[in-house]
Chain A
């Protein structure tokens, strides 16, 4: 079962998962911890800290998920474990 190719497949899958998890922590939490500082920057009437929670992080999540689906599918194909 645990062939070298499978091990390398799972390692790549794991790295991708951790990259996604890191981005998730950043856009879900870290950036909002600096809301007061970011709010001093105002664009189109939006204080930036408010904007990140209302729209910015949401856009990041959507883009991340489409990118993840593509990346993971590419990893599957590279290791020939994609569905026929």
Chain B
């Protein structure tokens, strides 16, 4: 029933051979890693290995992008709705796991210990809400974009327009973080200036998404998932084997935790890694609110929801959510182990008798990172660029033997630096860089496509020119995609904040703005247009107000004092206010105004059952 738009040449062949194609691809990638290891052993320079890793993987993504180019609307927006559940799960995994998951999360777990696990829980549990509340119903409706659904359910272009505004705000914040991540990787591993590196990263993103829309993005994301998961698992399996003799880091994490606690006690650190609700200002209230905002945000982010528009049926959409979470789970339950082994390694290093004079010899990698960006590694409160700088800084503070607390590592560099920290060969560093790049690129592709689709399909086609021919719609979409991408790269080059915060803001914006309208739209027939519009404005308004006022203040300057936090709630959980306000306003306004028409109630009945044709049909161009 799925193939409502035109059939495409060669599509069937490709989908029936998926297993073989990606099997060969995975084998090829592993062979490439081995080749790099051989080249490295033969004495090829590190920076060349770095270029080869990043260059080779980007070329692969570009080839997939070019091969999947399309000029058909159904293919461009929803990959022809022919993506099997398992592969859609893999693509969603890559779409989902961004620079924040790959680069930022284990680093935050390293710094925050137990309290960092709020990110792990929040970014997995949200899929339960996706599966039970939203995704299957949107699939039945048959939308191209999330605002499509809002417009159909809440009758008209006002709901659509507000949906587009929320979508743009959260996806744009999110994409800035991804481009920031690609810039960080390019700067360190290719040795180019950060401000130039963000535009290099941008070029990599564009080759994948511009030509083939959703179809190209889907098949590149599957390829990117394979690269990123291999790159994430190898260093931590390596560390686990070296430290414990058992190559199962998730299991041996227990031993790592026990050793961390012992080393912390020996070094007089009283705030333990495993202590709950004590690190970085995460008291129990902030911990649980963060989990809530991330989970609800998951079920509201348009670039995630639109992945479930590509499955052949409602049934496949449900199974696909489960597959998505399984593929995401593989990385997420490894991240705490990654952090634990990295922390164990660092504590061991400090315990070996570290002084300002011998640190360059024992841990030269810190100086290389400090040279890439002087905020990344600080020792005794100053950038650790060379021995002289470290000795001077420590002498000033009267430190003669370095303790764990004297060494300040940035959360965003820990995963990327772990191979060097644990003394692995450089080829592993190159692999991790390629993995981080895959994670950032795949998410950025999905986000840019979500933004460009909303602008071209919802604003241009549905609101400005309903008679626009297909070819013009798709060209408009591509031009907008490039424009948004360049703007995002510019914002990223100003380094607005760290990756994890920017991404968390995106979740709060989506949760506050879209969640009530999406969920009540399916589950409460009485919800009407006035209620939804008021609810979205109120929920999104409060969220963005709290975020901007506490982060920048009314003068948009990060440096000057900002608005006080309300009840001490951190602004990465801004939706803690937007969400209840959004629900309350939507319910109250709906009840005060007229109930939806008979036709609309029938429409909701129809969305709730899988059988029957999808509600929104696209005329074949």
B127 and A61 within 8 A (CB): yes
A-B contact count, CB below 8 Å? 141
8 tightest CB-CB pairs across the interface, nearest first?
A: A45-B254, A65-B322, A44-B254, A45-B258, A53-B117, A46-B254, A54-B336, A81-B609
Residue among B120, B329, B336, B609 facing the most chain A CB atoms (10 A cut-off) = B609
Quick one: given A44-B251, A64-B128, A66-B322, are A83 and B315 in contact (CB under 8 Å)?
yes
A39 and B318 within 8 A (CB): no
| B617 located at the interface, meaning its Cβ lies under 8 Å from any Cβ of chain A in the complex | no
6 more CB-based (< 8 A) A-B contacts, given A69-B318, A83-B313? A45-B253, A45-B256, A58-B332, A69-B315, A81-B611, A84-B611
Contact partner of B276 among A10, A27, A35, A68, CB < 8 A?
A: A35
A24 and B319 within 8 A (CB): no
Contact surface of B with A, Cβ cutoff 8 Å: 1, 114, 117, 120-121, 124-125, 127-129, 131-133, 136, 250-251, 253-258, 274, 276, 284, 287-288, 291-292, 295, 313-315, 318-319, 321-322, 325-326, 329, 332-333, 336-337, 601-602, 605-606, 608-611
CB distance from B239 to the nearest CB of A (A): 16
| A8 located at the interface, meaning its Cβ lies under 8 Å from any Cβ of chain B in the complex | no
Q: Which residues of A in the span 15-63 have a Cβ within 8 Å of any Cβ on B?
A: 16-17, 20-21, 23-24, 27-29, 32-33, 35-36, 39, 43-47, 49-51, 53-55, 57-59, 61-62
Q: How far is the CA of A1 from the CA of B610 in the complex (A)?
A: 14
CB distance from B455 to the nearest CB of A (A): 32
A68 and B131 within 8 A (CB): yes
Contact partner of B336 among A17, A55, A73, CB < 8 A?
A: A55
Residue among B128, B255, B292, B337 facing the most chain A CB atoms (10 A cut-off) = B128
Quick one: given A35-B114, A44-B251, A68-B318, are A24 and B336 in contact (CB under 8 Å)?
no
CB distance from B139 to the nearest CB of A (A): 11
Q: How far is the CA of A57 from the CA of B288 in the complex (A)?
A: 14
Q: How far is the CA of A44 from the CA of B257 in the complex (A)?
A: 10
CB distance from B124 to the nearest CB of A (A): 5
Contact partner of A61 among B256, B292, B325, CB < 8 A?
A: B325
Contacts of B606 in A (CB 8 A): 1
Contacts of A47 in B (CB 8 A): 257, 274
Contacts of A36 in B (CB 8 A): 276
- 29 pairs of residues in contact across A and B, judged by CB atoms under 8 Å: A1-B606, A6-B609, A27-B125, A28-B125, A28-B128, A28-B295, A29-B291, A32-B287, A35-B276, A36-B276, A44-B254, A45-B254, A45-B256, A45-B257, A46-B254, A47-B257, A54-B337, A55-B250, A58-B333, A59-B329, A61-B124, A61-B128, A65-B128, A65-B321, A66-B326, A68-B318, A69-B319, A82-B611, A83-B313
Quick one: given A1-B605, A53-B121, are A46 and B257 in contact (CB under 8 Å)?
yes
Q: How far is the CA of A65 from the CA of B255 in the complex (A)?
A: 30
CB distance from A33 to the nearest CB of B (A): 8
Contacts of A76 in B (CB 8 A): 315, 609-611
A28 and B291 within 8 A (CB): yes
Q: Which residue of B lies closest to A55 (CB)?
A: B333
CB distance from B106 to the nearest CB of A (A): 12
B605 and A82 within 8 A (CB): no
Contacts of A33 in B (CB 8 A): 284, 288
Q: How far is the CA of A53 from the CA of B292 in the complex (A)?
A: 14
Q: Which residue of B lies closest to A80 (CB)?
A: B611
CB distance from B273 to the nearest CB of A (A): 9
Q: How far is the CA of A43 from the CA of B200 in the complex (A)?
A: 47
Q: Which residue of B lies closest to A13 (CB)?
A: B608
Contacts of A73 in B (CB 8 A): 315, 318
Quick one: given A24-B125, A28-B125, A61-B128, are A54 and B1 in contact (CB under 8 Å)?
no
